Amino acid sequence: MRKCGVDIVRHAASGPCPSAGMHRITPMRKAAALLAFVPFIALAEPPRIMLVMHGGAGTITRQSMTPETEKQYREMLEQALRTGHVILAKGGSSLDAVEASIRIREDSPLFNAGKGAVFTHEGRNEMDASIMDGKTMKAGSVAGVTIIKNPISAARAVMDKSPHVMMAGHGAELFATQVGLEIVDPSYFWTERRWKELQRELQQEQTAAPLKHFGTVGALALDQAGDLAAGTSTGGTSNKRYGRVGDSPIIGAGTYASNDSVAVSCTGTGEYFIRWTVAHDIAALYQYKGMTVEQAGNEVIFKKLVPVHGDGGAIILDRKGNFAMPFNTEGMYRGWIGGDGVPHVLIYKD
């Protein structure tokens, strides 16, 4: 008889085995006892964490990008990925990771969100953002804001500190001020690059179609608790008029997250993403038709949007850590980082 080996299963979890009062466990009892511990062993393994992001889709080719500019984009995307990963690795929430990673890009002039927002026809910067919690299905968004430094944090505040989902314009700005968010002068958002872009757009209005470049930024996260979150932030489209609002602040169009399906963030021509409710459609195909994240994304981005000239892309993440990044344009700034902490960044189609 082995006194302290695996045969004495009933003492396996309590330390050294006493020598008195023991009896040999039969192979059948031994197997049953070991199986009883399996669920506890499985639960001891931390869930897979994952952060996926995009920085906009459009006419993005190697020919249009200098090595120095490409380097800047890659470094900024890697910084945003690492920022979100630190939060997830320490057991932080998917919501916190999404917000933090988007704020990094809102503070950069490279992306069409926050500091790098494009100009309207009137020469203003009007920004939109949204965020959604896959665990509770709570969501928040802001539209047409001009003085909030980080619109994604305003969207988070709408979700966490108000009974509403969406606020727009001056009302959203007043709310952001009252809850203590950072407010800046509208001149903060002025950049020479975006101003020149507007001037080109104005000159091309009557002569040629401008190049399409959707600089919207988005992020999806899966945390150690197994909860999903999604967020999107944008400056809209250059030369937009009449208070135009795209899909980014609209839940179900540009942003969606549910623990019952997937998290989605979109970028592209917002009018099409609104009319085809792209983010929710992808989630529904995953949940109700049993498609994979890749199949659901391709079904919408390619089979539904391409025939109607709906340009853009999306990032999709499920609770198993599976993700997809389909787009039907020349390129899309995109990347991911998993539990190993190694950031991956892609830009072009090939």
Q: What is the CATH number of the domain that holds 284?
A: 3.60.20.30
When mean pLDDT is compared across 62-66, 94-98, 290-294, the lowest value belongs to 62-66
Instruction: Output the pTM of the full model.
Output: 0.85
Q: Domain residues for 17?
A: 9-44
Do 299 and 282 belong to one domain?
Answer: yes
Q: Which residue has the tokens 């700034």?
A: 333
Of residues 192 and 182, more confidence is placed in 182
What counts of helices (H) and strands (E) characterise the chain? 9, 13
Question: In which band, very low, low, confident or very high, does the pLDDT at 2 lie, cut at 50, 70 and 90?
Answer: very low
Residue 215, pLDDT > 80, answer no
The answer to the question of residue 233 being in a domain is yes
Do 125 and 187 belong to one domain?
Answer: yes
Question: What's the total number of domains in the chain?
Answer: 2
Do 82 and 164 belong to one domain?
Answer: yes
Segment 326-341 mean pLDDT: 97
The answer to the question of residue 2 being in a domain is no
The answer to the question of residue 121 being in a domain is yes
Q: For residue 54, what are the β-bridge partners?
A: 218, 334
**Confidence (pLDDT) at 96:** 98
Q: DSSP class of residue 122?
A: T
Q: What percent of the chain has pLDDT over 70?
A: 84
**Confidence (pLDDT) at 19:** 41
Q: Which residue in 83, 146, 216, 277 is the catalytic one?
A: 216
Predicted confidence (pLDDT) per residue in 266-276, tens digit? 999 999 999 99
**Confidence (pLDDT) at 38:** 46
Residue 26, pLDDT > 90, answer no
The answer to the question of residue 313 being in a domain is yes
Average pLDDT, rounded, for the chain:
87
The answer to the question of residue 248 being in a domain is yes
Residue 10, pLDDT > 90, answer no
Do 155 and 61 belong to one domain?
Answer: yes
Closest Cα to residue 268, out of 323, 324, 326?
326
**Confidence (pLDDT) at 290:** 98
Segment 300-322 mean pLDDT: 97
**Confidence (pLDDT) at 230:** 99
**Confidence (pLDDT) at 266:** 98
Residue 12, pLDDT > 90, answer no
Do 58 and 115 belong to one domain?
Answer: yes
Cβ contacts of 243 within 8 Å, gap of 6 or more: 126, 144, 169
The answer to the question of residue 4 being in a domain is no
When mean pLDDT is compared across 44-53, 94-103, 255-264, 319-328, the lowest value belongs to 44-53
The answer to the question of residue 297 being in a domain is yes
Do 23 and 127 belong to one domain?
Answer: no
Do 138 and 198 belong to one domain?
Answer: yes
- The CA distance from 29 to 19, in Å, is 20
Nearest 10 degrees: CA dihedral of 147, 152, 154, 157? Answer: -170
**Confidence (pLDDT) at 194:** 82
Do 157 and 304 belong to one domain?
Answer: yes
Do 94 and 120 belong to one domain?
Answer: yes
Do 169 and 23 belong to one domain?
Answer: no
Do 168 and 191 belong to one domain?
Answer: yes
The answer to the question of residue 3 being in a domain is no
Predicted confidence (pLDDT) per residue in 67-80, tens digit? 999 999 999 999 99
Active site residue 329: no
Do 35 and 94 belong to one domain?
Answer: no
